[in-house]
């Protein structure tokens, strides 16, 4: 994918520290998370059952803001790399989405759709 395929989704100020928000990017639901001052993006797609992670809008983090969590069966994912640390998909990972910070804007691209 070339960098030209990215699109602006929000301002860096729209995602608070240690939190995450969902954006629709074309036909993909993308979760943008800010953790430890860095932004990361993943498909809103749990590797356990291939369904959305959240029940409530923009509720993706655990209470301490340390992990992304799947509301369905409680899997915990590292915000930095999407790796599942605990839960039924332990050892698997969220699907990373290309993300660039350009000035004050967050741009994301397309991920390869999971199999």
Q: Which residues contact ligand FES by CB under 6 A?
A: 46, 48-49, 51, 70, 72-73, 75, 87-89
* Cα–Cα distance for residue pair 33/60, rounded to 1 Å: 9
- Please measure the distance between the N-terminal and C-terminal CA atoms of the chain and give it in whole angstroms: 18
Give whichever of 65 and 88 is closer to ligand FES, judged by the CB atom. 88
Taking the complex as a whole, the smallest distance from the CB of residue 2 to ligand FES amounts, in Å, to 32
* Inter-residue contact 42 to 52 (CB < 8 Å): no
Give whichever of 26 and 91 is closer to ligand FES, judged by the CB atom. 91
Taking the complex as a whole, the smallest distance from the CB of residue 4 to ligand FES amounts, in Å, to 33
Taking the complex as a whole, the smallest distance from the CB of residue 84 to ligand FES amounts, in Å, to 8
- Give the 3-state secondary structure of residue 107: strand
């Amino acid at each position: 994918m070339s960098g030209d395929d990215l699109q602006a989704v929000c301002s860096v100020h729209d995602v608070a520290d240690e939190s995450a928000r969902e954006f629709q990017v074309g036909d993909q639901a993308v979760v943008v998370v800010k953790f430890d001052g860095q932004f990361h993006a993943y498909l809103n797609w749990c590797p356990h059952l291939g369904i959305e992670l959240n029940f409530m809008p923009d509720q993706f983090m655990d209470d301490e803001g340390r992990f992304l969590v799947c509301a369905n069966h409680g899997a915990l994912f590292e915000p930095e790399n999407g790796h599942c640390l605990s839960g039924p998909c332990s050892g698997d990972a969220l699907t990373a989405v290309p993300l660039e910070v350009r000035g004050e804007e967050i741009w994301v691209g397309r991920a390869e759709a999971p199999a």
